[in-house]
Amino acid sequence: MRAAVYYSNHDVRLEELPTPGIGPGEALVRVAASGICGSDVMEWYRIQKAPLVLGHEMAGQIVTLGEGVGHYRAGDRVIVAHHVPCNTCRYCLSGRHTVCNTLRSTNVEPGGFAEYIRLPSILVDRGVFPLPEEVSFEEATFTEPLACVLRGQRLAGMRPGMSVMVIGSGIAGLLHIQAARALGVGRIVATDVVDFRLEAALRFGAGYAIHAEEAVPERLRQLFDGWLPDISIVCAGATGAIEQGLRSVERGGTVLLFAPGTPGATVPLQVNDAWFNGTNIVTTYAGSPTDYVTALELIRARRVPVGEMITHRLGLAETDWGFQLVAEARDSIKVIIEPQK
């Protein structure tokens, strides 16, 4: 089978790999669409594991099933989670599924940027979600990133009527904007350093868009009658973005660190200011199976119209270009790879 093998952000090669074999309880899935995530182009993290096949926002059709799998059939359209929790450890039992050791060690073989993937039995058991007929394969690839967004907003305590600032208007930021609108958030403001993305933020539901190099807290007070937002969601890993998030939230508000920083990065924190102001700092990573179910329903019901966010649909041989588009973070929103092309 063909696969796009990652060596670096600027070196993704189309290669022939053996089609994975499956054993009892496993499944072989023909990948129809796989989205390129911003984390796929975190070169400092990925390159140390290269060469490898990436791709974790996947949808496709089951081709064959191993012995003992009775709840799916060949031909079923499905979404696949690349990580799943054990549901029995201390983390899972306390609702912190995404720090479960099992979730952090499970995966598909070899990755979504390939024509076929093997699902280990644990993924077949709890990481496969039937795809409604009214949801396309391309739309289905948004289930994983939207699940991450929903978990983050839940941890941040987002509620209808709140005001929210989203720092970084790439795909993660735009999904946060759309999910917040679906929840009934009152006012949403977005920031970025790229005009193309600021325009996209307004198009996908932000009420205001501010260039990140402006005096953001002052502009926010002008827009919100002297107040700052209740929640600041940082979707960019730059230390300046994190500092901006900390300065741009109301007393008693929450700063959600949604994006990772670079290795070893530190951010100065005025501890007394955070203490006196009652600032909550929340981090989030990944999504749980429950978040997948909710995300898929929002997509199915068109509460989050993800199809409009796709700017590039590329064949497997164009994956290298797709990675460059995402890494440059300028004139693309969502890049989808279709491995069967």
Mean pLDDT of 80-103: 96
- pLDDT at 201 (0 to 100): 97
Alpha carbon separation from 161 to 186, 187, 323 (Å, rounded): 4, 8, 37
Q: Are residues 7 and 140 in the same domain?
A: yes
Q: Are residues 254 and 300 in the same domain?
A: no
Q: Could you tell me the pLDDT band of residue 154, with boundaries at 50, 70 and 90?
A: very high
- pLDDT at 125 (0 to 100): 95
Query: How many folded domains does the chain comprise?
Result: 2
- pLDDT at 60 (0 to 100): 98
- pLDDT at 95 (0 to 100): 93
Q: Are residues 258 and 297 in the same domain?
A: no
The tens digit of pLDDT for each residue in 211-228 reads 999 999 999 999 999 999
- pLDDT at 299 (0 to 100): 98
Q: How far apart are CA 244 and CA 290, in angstroms?
A: 32
Range of the domain at 331: 2-145+286-338
Q: How far apart are CA 170 and CA 196, in angstroms?
A: 10
Does residue 284 register a pLDDT over 90? Answer: yes
CB 33 within 8 A of CB 336: yes
Q: Are residues 45 and 6 in the same domain?
A: yes
The tens digit of pLDDT for each residue in 21-72 reads 999 999 999 999 999 999 999 998 898 899 999 999 999 999 999 999 999 9
CB 185 within 8 A of CB 162: yes
Looking at 283, 308, 325, which one is the last position of a domain?
283
Does residue 149 register a pLDDT over 90? Answer: yes
Q: Are residues 71 and 131 in the same domain?
A: yes
CB 212 within 8 A of CB 194: no
What's the token pair of residue 192?
């970025």
Q: Are residues 162 and 73 in the same domain?
A: no
- pLDDT at 16 (0 to 100): 98
Does residue 237 sit within a domain?
A: yes
Does residue 204 sit within a domain?
A: yes
Alpha carbon separation from 317 to 31, 85, 211, 323, 327 (Å, rounded): 14, 33, 36, 12, 18
DSSP summary character for residue 132: P
Alpha carbon separation from 150 to 72, 155, 303, 329, 336 (Å, rounded): 27, 9, 13, 23, 21
Q: Could you tell me the CATH number of the domain that includes residue 131?
A: 3.90.180.10
Does residue 263 register a pLDDT over 90? Answer: no
Q: How far, rounded to the nearest angstrom, does the alpha carbon of residue 324 sit from its chain's CA centroid?
A: 18
Does residue 217 sit within a domain?
A: yes
Looking at 236, 264, 283, which one is the last position of a domain?
283
Dihedral (CA of 82, 88, 89, 91) sign: positive
Mean pLDDT of 112-138: 97
Q: Could you tell me the pLDDT band of residue 330, with boundaries at 50, 70 and 90?
A: confident
- pLDDT at 164 (0 to 100): 97
Does residue 174 register a pLDDT over 90? Answer: yes
Does residue 46 sit within a domain?
A: yes
- pLDDT at 268 (0 to 100): 87
Q: Are residues 278 and 296 in the same domain?
A: no
User: Which of 153-162, 265-274, 319-328 has the lowest average pLDDT?
Assistant: 265-274
Does residue 152 sit within a domain?
A: no
Q: Are residues 23 and 133 in the same domain?
A: yes
Q: What are phi and psi of 288, to 5 degrees?
A: -95, 165
Does residue 304 register a pLDDT over 90? Answer: yes
Does residue 47 sit within a domain?
A: yes
- pLDDT at 24 (0 to 100): 98
Does residue 261 register a pLDDT over 90? Answer: no
Pairing of the two strands 27-35 and 11-16 = unpaired
CB 173 within 8 A of CB 241: no
Q: Are residues 8 and 141 in the same domain?
A: yes
Q: Are residues 95 and 176 in the same domain?
A: no
| Mean pLDDT score of the chain | 95
Q: Are residues 268 and 173 in the same domain?
A: yes
The tens digit of pLDDT for each residue in 182-210 reads 999 989 999 999 999 999 999 999 999 99
- pLDDT at 186 (0 to 100): 85
DSSP string, 249-279: S-TT-EEEE-S---TT------HHHHHHHT-
Q: Are residues 53 and 74 in the same domain?
A: yes
Looking at 239, 267, 283, which one is the last position of a domain?
283
Q: Which residues, in sequence order, are CB contacts of 210 under 8 Å at separation 6+?
A: 189, 190, 191, 198, 216, 219, 220
Q: Could you tell me the CATH number of the domain that includes residue 264?
A: 3.40.50.720
Does residue 18 register a pLDDT over 90? Answer: yes
Does residue 151 sit within a domain?
A: no
Mean pLDDT of 303-332: 95
Does residue 165 sit within a domain?
A: yes
Does residue 264 register a pLDDT over 90? Answer: no
Closest CA to 24 of 63, 66, 60, 61: 66
Mean pLDDT of 117-134: 97
